[in-house]
Each structure stands twice: as C-alpha cells, then as structure tokens.
C-alpha cells in the first residue's frame, strides 16, 4: 500500500524480487552522488531537559567532546567531497545541532519545521531565516512537523513518519507543497521517535532506491508498505538500532554510520556500499546521530 498526497492509502505497484540466480550488487556498480548538506556546530550542546527517552538531564554532558565528535563527522563529509554549509548555533538552543529537524528541502523549496516541544520551537524560525538568506523559497508550515527527521526522500516518493513528533496532517501539507507522493508510516516505539532513527536511506536515486529499517519501530500496516515497496531492504538488528545505527547518511556508495553498528556495517559491505563509522556517542545523549546532524539541501 502507499498514500496519495492527501494521506489516502493506495496500492503500490508490485516490485520485482531478486532471484538467487541474479548477481549481487558490488561496489563496482555503485557510484556516489554529489551531496550538499547543512550542519550546525554544537557549541551550546547540553542535555538540560527531557523530551525523548535518550535524554537524562541529571547526567553531565561534555560539550567539548560533542564538538570534537561533530568535527570528525564534518571533516568526513568534506573528505567525501560534500558541499557542507553551516548555520550559526544560537545560545539556549542545545538541540540545534540536530539540523535534520530544521526543515525539508527539494527543488529549491524549503518546507520549514514547526516543533512539537516548546524547548525546540525557536529552531523553526532560525532555520527558515537561513533558508531564505541562502536562496530557498520558504514554505512556512501550518502543521506540526520536524523536517527531515520525519521526511525521507527515496526515489520518487517521500516517506513520512508520524506517531510521536510530526503530525499526520503535515504529510498532506508536504505533498501539496512538493507535488510528490507521500507515504505515511506510523512509528510505535518511543525510542525511535523520528523516522530517520528507524529507516536509513541507502540510495535515494529512483533507479536504485533502497532502504534499511528496524521492523519493531513500526505498526503492522506500515510494515506491509515497507515490505512491498522495498523487498530487498536491509533489516537491522535491535542492537545496531539501539546505537542509532540507522541514523546514517548515504551518497549512494559511501554511507556514514555509527561506528558501533557492526552488523549493519557488515550488511552494507555485502551489498557493495562503503560504510564509514564515526563515533557520536556524546550527541547520542540528546537522542541524535549522524543523520540528525545532517540536513540535505536540494536546490
């Protein structure tokens, strides 16, 4: 099943399943795509409130360590040839480092974020100001949504999460703005409160689109959609998901992942990808990983 722009589920076309006689994809058949991303240096990172199961304000955080780990991620992207843009961090907004939540961009349009919790709500206007100043047409949201945390472009459709943060009505708004099919998925495990913690986009190009995901993060109707649309998806272990291994970022060949997600790393190598592990353990204290720190800019 899949959804029309307004949220109505429709039957997805049957996808061909690879047979045992077909060759596996190797690294020689995968090519990286050019990526432009937005990041925010965690100069003000701390955990001073609790809005997800990962956050424990009573446990001290190390801002300098968070910055050092973030710099490794930043430098990894630069080394891969990404065009990395930066938004200035704002004092009092410790979660601004999780840039993926700041909006969703496609075809030069930026759909702004409208956050669920008051602690993060000032981030929405800050990111929209950056989009406007950097050449994007800004679509101011009417519905609650947390940007690319819950909206993932895969081929010709946008996978959209709901259940904890982004409102279901935002999926219809998203579809109307971008005139793309939007497929709604319901998250049921509070530890995976954003879609990008439960699904990794391995390749977003229509001709080779595929994902990895954690089945226990979704309700059964959503799993039916994922199984039908992505029969060759990677299924990750609970252990790898628990270190936010799925919260990764791919250029179609290189995939930056949590360094502790070892089985996911193995599966990616078997599929011809080049996984690159980074340690963001300090930022994990706020409930974020690689993808959370990465907002893709699609001009």
Phi and psi based region of residue 228 (left: phi greater than 0; alpha: psi -120 to 50; beta: remaining): alpha
Give the tokens for residue 52. Answer: 């997800």
Which listed residue (5, 44, 74, 194) is catalytic?
194
Say whether 70 sits in a helix, a strand or coil: helix
Cβ atoms of 42 and 97 within 8 Å: the answer is yes
- In the residue annotation, 5 being an active-site residue is answered as no
Token pair in block for residue 269: 């190598």
Q: Is 4 helix (H, G, I), strand (E, B) or coil?
A: coil
> What gap in Å lies between CA 247 and CA 290, rounded to an integer?
6
Question: Residue 267, by phi and psi: left (phi above 0), alpha (psi -120 to 50) or beta?
Answer: alpha
From 5, 44, 74, 292, active-site residue: 292
Question: The tokens of 121 are what?
Answer: 């709500």
CA 115/CA 102 separation, integer angstroms: 9
Q: Which two tokens stand for residue 147?
A: 């940007």
293 carries an active-site annotation: no
d(CA 77, CA 173) in angstroms, rounded, equals: 31
> What are the strands, taking DSSP E only, across the chain?
2-3, 9-10, 36-39, 83-86, 103-106, 109-112, 137-139, 151-154, 157-162, 182-186, 199-203, 210-213, 234-235, 249-250, 254-258, 274-278, 295-296
The residues annotated with a catalytic role in the active site are 194, 292
């Amino acid at each position: 099943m899949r959804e029309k722009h307004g949220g109505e589920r429709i039957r997805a076309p049957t996808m061909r399943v690879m047979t045992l006689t077909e060759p596996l994809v190797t690294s020689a058949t995968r090519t990286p795509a050019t990526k432009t991303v937005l990041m925010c240096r965690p100069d003000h990172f701390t955990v001073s409130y609790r809005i997800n199961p990962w956050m424990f304000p009573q446990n001290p955080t190390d801002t300098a360590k968070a910055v050092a780990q973030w710099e490794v991620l930043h430098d990894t992207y630069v080394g891969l040839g990404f065009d990395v843009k930066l938004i200035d961090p704002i004092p009092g907004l410790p979660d601004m480092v999780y840039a993926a939540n700041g909006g969703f961009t496609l075809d030069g349009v930026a759909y702004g974020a409208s956050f669920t919790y008051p602690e993060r709500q000032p981030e929405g206007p800050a990111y929209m100001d950056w989009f406007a100043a950097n050449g994007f047409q800004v679509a101011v949201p009417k519905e609650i949504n947390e940007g690319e945390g819950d909206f993932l472009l895969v081929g010709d459709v946008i996978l959209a999460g709901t259940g904890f943060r982004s409102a279901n009505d935002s999926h219809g708004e998203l579809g109307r703005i971008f005139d793309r099919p939007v497929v709604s998925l319901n998250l049921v495990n509070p530890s995976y409160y954003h879609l990008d913690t439960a699904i990794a986009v391995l390749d977003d190009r229509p001709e080779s689109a595929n994902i990895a995901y954690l089945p226990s993060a979704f309700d059964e109707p959503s799993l039916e959609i994922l199984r039908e649309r992505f029969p060759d998806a990677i299924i990750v272990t609970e252990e790898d998901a628990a270190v936010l291994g799925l919260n990764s970022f791919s250029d179609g060949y290189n995939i930056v992942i949590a360094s502790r997600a070892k089985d996911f790393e193995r599966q990616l190598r078997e599929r011809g990808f080049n996984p690159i592990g980074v340690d963001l353990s300090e930022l994990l204290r706020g409930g974020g990983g690689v993808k959370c720190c990465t907002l893709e800019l699609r001009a």
